[in-house]
Structure 1
Amino acid sequence: MDVSSTTFYPTGSLIDVVCAFFGARNITGIRPDWLRRDRNRLVLYLKGLKTKLTYENHTKRSDYKIAALTKDGARETVQEIDGKKISIANYYLTRHNIHLEFPTLPCAVMDKKGRVIIPMELLTVKPGQRHTGKLNDKQLADMIKVTAVRPDQRLRRIEDGRRTLHGRNPMLADWGFALGDRLVEIEAHQMQPPTLTFGGGRTQESDGSWNYGRGMQFRLPCRPLACWAVAVFDRTDVRAVENFVGHLGQKLESMGVQVHNQQPPIIPAFDLPPEQVLRKCQQAALAEKRGDINYCQLVLCILDGRDKLVYKEIKAAAETVILPGLMTQCCLSRHVMANKPAYISNLILKINAKMFGVNVGLDLARELLELNEPAIIMGADVSHPPPGGNGMSIAALSASVDHTYARYRATYRRQPHVRSEMIQNLEEMAIELFALFKQSNPRYPPRKVLFYRDGVSEGQFDEVAFEEIPQLKKALAAMGWMNTKLTFIT
């Protein structure tokens, strides 16, 4: 027994639901390019949603289920009615005397043939509809805040549920089944915390958390920061940005990272396409570089936090459009204005790791005898589209590429069969990551490979192992690592 939670669509106006989808307070906060760019994602979110008309319909039908959205707004979308072509906006004006407030918004299509088209502002969402799709980061965080409880509170909920639902349940008694009064107690072993290594010492924390103490530096600082820029995607005061960047550089220096350019160029980027801004940052950074470096190492992006899609646009442009790739680090303008040391300390952890430094090391050779000689730690999983979705299954594989087990590289592949748990091209993916390990450790081939496989149930283990272990062995053979021991863990 346990308490489970799920999510539901909000009730009320369909317009309000669409605003919530885009993270906008009202319809005026939704930019037209958002609707064009994320139309397919919005259709997937709304498809199958049960709605109700807000006006009296002469057909006496008021309930409809959304099947799709029109490409254009009600003013441009034309439909043939009684042998004449008329726009949806004019139809509702002449037939129902309804003057649409938002004629540029897409309309809801209520059947597969596209014969029933209704403006979104004339629909409300019926209550009690479960959302089975994937949650975004903010939705997931909000749900965790609501559902997360302390272990003792969770225990009381379970015990209360047992007493309420099954305390004296005659149906269970008829089947000769009964629930005990107490939960089963299982003995557990508390492991000792691992030893953490820094530049300047080591420590062993016991409360599950740790902080950099005085004199501690990164285990391995990244290469000197000599060519970088700052992009400001809101109207944050330039002096505040300069002050924040100055403190950021000082903190990096204190942790062992050399910052050759303490005053990087600051590029105003409000209301400009992220790709255009990032290219400007590249050019400005190279113009003010220090030393012989020939590429932009980092772009610090300052966001206002209200436009949820700018972050995705920045990452997509930096990692897929601008080749061979541009390292970016985003932060919110409110943190820049506050300029708190604790926030800067957390931010530089991300920057050092992204620029191939090592923040902290685990002395795993002391903790685990399995890792007292060259080894690779790997992890794999397959993500599937949400229920009802028509997306693709993606397999991801990551692997350590250094002796500290702090640097990892990843690769992914689209799977030929949707919702199949077996990774079809694991051999190719493993060879790609093994080559990166060999590049970093040319003289020391791995003696062991620890392969952690997530997402496999007990009933699937034999099938997955039969499919994937031979692929891993072929990948090891292709690298010439015939004596490397493979451990497959689920």
Structure 2
Amino acid sequence: MMLNIDVSATAFYKAQPVIEFMCEVLDIRDINEQRKPLTDSQRVKFTKEIKGLKIEITHCGAMRRKYRVGQEHKHTYLPLEVCNIVAGQRCIKKLTDMQTSTMIKATARSAPDREREINNLVRRADFNNDEYVQEFGLTISTSMMEVRGRILPPPKLQYGGRVASLSGQVGWHSKQQACPNQGVWDMRGKQFFTGVEIRVWAIACFAPQRTVREDALRNFTQQLQKISNDAGMPIIGQPCFCKYATGPDQVEPMFRYLKTTFQALQLVVVVLPGKTPVYAEVKRVGDTVLGMATQCVQAKNVNKTSPQTLSNLCLKINVKLGGINSILVPSIRPKIFNEPVIFLGADVTHPPAGDNKKPSIAAVVGSMDAHPSRYAATVRVQQHRQEIIQELSSMVRELLVMFYKSTGGYKPHRIILYRDGVSEGQFLQLLQHELTAIREACIKLETDYKPGITFIVVQKRHHTRLFCADKKEQSGKSGNIPAGTTVDVGITHPTEFDFYLCSHQGIQGTSRPSHYHVLWDDSHLDSDELQCLTYQLCHTYVRCTRSVSIPAPAYYAHLVAFRARYHLVEKEHDSGEGSHQSGSSEDRTPGAMARAITVHADTKKVMYFA
């Protein structure tokens, strides 16, 4: 028997006067300078934040009464000036990006610090002197369990393939390989395996001209062209269109004009002033309405260009236009690649806590080539908080048909699915419903089509942490376990097939290894093969030149579901006080929401979600 002890952090509401809380929420510097009453949008925003919070009144002396604000059938009206927020209330709502960033910085602990903190907790708990522990005849070790792990060899990545031009001519470059070191590699001096030549492109700047001047846009264009040419994705000539715009209302008319005026338009680079409703509208129009490739970039990154930021932009642009950044070197891939195989990633995202109306979104992605580097996506709306993917059969069938077409008539002999976001209590449900749904999808295509299925669950939300017993083996500034560390003994299930794999280099805080459960395996892969395959897939994520914490298909499924949330957002309007939303997904029928997240036929051909 093992006892799992870890350190956790969460956000709490600060005990403070409600007036101060309102000023923080609405970004009011000084309440005494607030001459006008709150606008409608300010009231809506403040009401949303304070709803459900407990407050206490301060004008009754020693009798400090507490109230729960917002009871449905009992209205209580109190002046803000006499109200304080009660201490110790946990924030269950989704934090803003800034709040999340602040919290991570405040709570991040290097691996050695976290190890010391956990050991101190165990010593302070003094379990062996607890009367209940003694009553059961238990003794608990005060030291962490030691297990044997091993470091998997990283794959090699092939760069420097070919450049495909619009005319169809292909030019070959000398092939180059990258060898990851601690999950990181450098692309300098290398070119994309298949780079796309960009001849017709546009810039739409939604940041005010006073914050992003024309000379900054010109410099950004020059620097982007230089980096992209070096990467093997040549951008030829100046943008065919470069205009300023102000809000979401202008996105669709502008994009329609671009599509009709410039028939061969390949890409629209959209400059944004920060977090704005324009982003959701750009993705809605580009992905679902007109089928146009878009790449958003923050105004601060236009005004101050850096080679790293521009390189990251190129990684995303190339795959959005159908290119291939890099592939796993074929000669050292696992033997499962010897026959046609499709890799699937599946995930379901749910609305934030406290939202009881918005739907859950299920996404499944599938590899479309033998490398695997290109992926296609399918997405569905389903019932609120429903974790099991209801339409998995039709989604997998759709991806199998796309695989068949994109590979020139090959049928996958094996299907390997990485399923994200499922708890152990749902494993039986998964096998009963989702595994059956995959088999159904195959039989509906051909009655005798029965490829081998491997069903793997990926878990990140757990409290198992691995620390180096020997300090000399620690990696990076945070003293984490090295990338590629895998453990499949001691802390794993005694009879089931599971393992821990830390596939990434921890940059900040303590690395969290991913926990893999193999629920079904028709291919009878041994643990070495499956661990090696999983680790290699963690190196194929197109957005960066480093291995990531979960396999690329599972990561892409998460991105697709997250992008569909933006497709569901109806047009919002900027105002002086904030943004006003004209409609939301909860008001629409399931059919209307399904149509809203259906991507354009042209978009489906590429990795629009990258």
Corresponding residue number in structure 2 for 1:204: 179
Matching of residue 451 in structure 1 with residue 420 in structure 2: no
2:109 pairs with one of 137, 149, 153: 149
2:143 pairs with one of 182, 190, 207: 182
Superposition deviation, residue 301 in structure 1: 2.3
Seen in structure 2, the aligned counterparts of structure 1 residues 429 and 119 have a Cα distance that, compared at 3 Å, is farther
Corresponding residue number in structure 1 for 2:339: 373
Alignment of 1:90-109 (within 5 A): none
Superposition deviation, residue 175 in structure 1: 3.4
Supply the AA of the counterpart residue of 1:211: D
Alignment of 1:58-457 (within 5 A): 63-67=66-70, 111-113=71-73, 115-117=75-77, 123-166=83-126, 169-171=129-131, 172-199=133-160, 200-214=175-189, 216-234=190-208, 235-269=211-245, 272-277=246-251, 279-280=253-254, 282-284=256-258, 287=261, 289=262, 293=264, 296-305=265-274, 307-320=275-288, 323-363=289-329, 366-391=332-357, 392-416=359-383, 418-457=384-423
Corresponding residue number in structure 1 for 2:444: 478
Matching of residue 467 in structure 1 with residue 433 in structure 2: yes
In structure 2, C-alpha distance between the alignment counterparts of 1:253 and 1:223, rounded to whole Å: 9
In structure 2, C-alpha distance between the alignment counterparts of 1:196 and 1:255, rounded to whole Å: 15
In structure 2, C-alpha distance between the alignment counterparts of 1:213 and 1:452, rounded to whole Å: 32
The sequence identity of aligned pairs, in percent, is 32
Query: What secondary structure does 1:330 align onto?
Result: strand
Supply the AA of the counterpart residue of 2:360: S
Between 184-193 and 478-487, report the one with greater CA deviation.
Answer: 478-487
Structure 2 contact 443–450 (Cα < 8 Å) conserved: no
TM-score (norm 1): 0.77
* Structure with the larger RCO, 1 or 2 (CA within 8 Å, 6+ apart): 2
Seen in structure 2, the aligned counterparts of structure 1 residues 346 and 283 have a Cα distance that, compared at 3 Å, is same
Corresponding residue number in structure 2 for 1:106: none
Coordinate RMSD, CA, aligned: 3.2
In structure 2, C-alpha distance between the alignment counterparts of 1:192 and 1:395, rounded to whole Å: 34
In structure 2, C-alpha distance between the alignment counterparts of 1:304 and 1:15, rounded to whole Å: 30
Query: What secondary structure does 2:196 align onto?
Result: coil
1:488 pairs with one of 443, 448, 455: 455
Supply the AA of the counterpart residue of 1:189: R
In structure 2, C-alpha distance between the alignment counterparts of 1:419 and 1:62, rounded to whole Å: 36
Structure 1 contact 246–263 (Cα < 8 Å) conserved: no
TM-score (norm 2): 0.63
Supply the AA of the counterpart residue of 1:477: I
Superposition deviation, residue 278 in structure 1: 5.1
Query: What secondary structure does 1:161 align onto?
Result: helix
Query: What secondary structure does 1:8 align onto?
Result: coil
In structure 2, C-alpha distance between the alignment counterparts of 1:345 and 1:19, rounded to whole Å: 40
Corresponding residue number in structure 2 for 1:92: none
Superposition deviation, residue 184 in structure 1: 0.9
Superposition deviation, residue 238 in structure 1: 1.1
In structure 1, C-alpha distance between the alignment counterparts of 2:345 and 2:28, rounded to whole Å: 37
Query: What secondary structure does 1:258 align onto?
Result: coil
Seen in structure 2, the aligned counterparts of structure 1 residues 238 and 24 have a Cα distance that, compared at 3 Å, is farther
Query: Tell me, which stretches of 5 or more residues in structure 1 are unaligned?
Result: 68-110
Q: Deviations over 1:420-465 (max 9, x none)?
A: 4322211111122223222312322212110112233334322210
Structure 1 contact 52–64 (Cα < 8 Å) conserved: yes
Structure 2 contact 203–242 (Cα < 8 Å) conserved: yes
Superposition deviation, residue 489 in structure 1: 1.6
In structure 2, C-alpha distance between the alignment counterparts of 1:256 and 1:51, rounded to whole Å: 60
Find the structure with the greater CA-based Rg: 1
Structure 2 contact 345–418 (Cα < 8 Å) conserved: yes
Q: Deviations over 1:293-336 (max 9, x none)?
A: 1xx4332222333x55443444345445xx13433322222222
Seen in structure 2, the aligned counterparts of structure 1 residues 355 and 186 have a Cα distance that, compared at 3 Å, is same
In structure 1, C-alpha distance between the alignment counterparts of 2:320 and 2:80, rounded to whole Å: 43
Structure 2 contact 56–64 (Cα < 8 Å) conserved: no
Supply the AA of the counterpart residue of 2:100: L
Q: Deviations over 1:194-248 (max 9, x none)?
A: 111112311222221011131x111222352413223242321111111111211
In structure 2, C-alpha distance between the alignment counterparts of 1:379 and 1:24, rounded to whole Å: 44
Query: Tell me, which stretches of 5 or more residues in structure 2 are unaligned?
Result: 161-174, 458-610
In structure 2, C-alpha distance between the alignment counterparts of 1:53 and 1:299, rounded to whole Å: 54
